[in-house]
Each structure stands twice: as structure tokens, then as C-alpha cells.
Amino acid sequence: MRFRKDMEGVTPILSAVPPQDLLPEKDHHHNSTPDARAAVARRDLQHVMWVSENENGSRGFGFTGGHFHDNWQDDNLRTVVLNAIAWIAHREIPESGIPSQTPTMEELKENQDFEYDASKIRDDKYADRRRHR
């Protein structure tokens, strides 16, 4: 991920150093370019969720994990995303975060582009990732 020079105005929210075996060996425009593999090999911190604030007062939010639908069942993840949306809209955020209902697997499946066995996804968190290599 490329950010502003010196991360000016950017605040990482969720960062990690991914294991090298998470990236496919061949080049892929989304997740396995030579630059991405080199950054992971150097063990550079990878920001997967961040906010930004601009000089004019506008705000932004970025998150790279929204496409894994089963992630939305994680109450903590959903809360931090909702909090970020409220923050960019300059809204007050309750101390315990923006509340929401945990979606059922049936609700999540309604918006999928393909069929899958939810029990296998829960058993293997990287199943969807490998599916798209």
C-alpha cells in the first residue's frame, strides 16, 4: 500500500506483518507483486485499516478486508468500521462504539457472488483467499 509522504495526516488503525506464505508465488495485481513480496520479506508493517485527515478538515477511511464477507460476523471488526464511518462524517461515537446486530451466515450469503460451504470457511480462514489465486 502506498500512502502520503511520511504518512502525513494518515493514522494506521490496524497493522500487521503478514507471513510470507500468505502471498501467492506468482505475480497478481491485487496481492502479490514483486514490491509486495519484497515488503513482506523485509517484514515491513502492512496497514490494512487507516484514517486520514486533510488540511481542509475532510476525513477519509480505508480498509482492505471488506471483501471477506464472513469477517462481518466479527463484532469488533464491524464496530471499528462503523466507528470510522461515523468519524469521517464528524459524528459523535459512543464510548462502547457504534452498535450493530451480528449478521447471520444466511444474511451474508445473500450478497455473495458464488456458492460456498460456510462451515469450511469457518474451519479454514484462508479458504477464500486461496480460491482467488
131 in the same domain as 70 = yes
Q: Are residues 91 and 125 in the same domain?
A: yes
Average pLDDT value for the chain: 81
Are residues 100 and 55 located together in one domain of the fold?
no
- How would you class 74 by CB atoms within 10 Å of its CB: exposed for 0-12, middle for 13-18, buried for 19 or more? middle
Q: What is the pLDDT of residues 40-96, one digit of tens each?
A: 888 888 888 999 999 999 999 999 888 777 888 999 999 999 999 999 999 999 999
**44/72 same-domain check:** no
Q: Is the pLDDT at 123 greater than 70, yes or no?
A: no
Please check whether residues 58 and 69 belong to one and the same domain. no
List, edge to edge, every strand of the sheet that includes 10-16. Answer: 10-16, 46-53, 59-63
According to the model, what pLDDT value does residue 83 have? 97
Same domain flag for 45 and 104? no
Closest CA to 34 of 44, 19, 23: 23
- Between CA 100 and CA 123 the distance in angstroms is 25
CA–CA dist 133, 130 (Å, integer): 5
Lowest pLDDT segment from 5-9, 62-66, 92-96, 115-119: 115-119
Residue 114: pLDDT over 80: no
User: Which of the listed residues 20, 38, 64 is the one where a domain comes to its end?
Assistant: 64
pTM of the predicted structure, to 2 decimals: 0.72
What's the pLDDT at 121? 56
Q: How many domains does the chain have?
A: 2
Same domain, 53 and 80: no
- Identify the domain containing residue 35 by its residue range: 1-64
Please report the pLDDT score of residue 133 as a whole number. Answer: 41
One domain for residues 103 and 132: yes
Whether residue 39 sits in one domain with residue 24: yes
Nearest-5° Cα angle at 95, 91 to 97: 70
Q: Does 100 lie in the same domain as 47?
A: no
Residue type, 2: R
Where among 19, 43, 64 does a domain terminate?
64
Picking from 71, 123, 87, 99, the residue whose alpha carbon sits closest to that of residue 13 is: 87
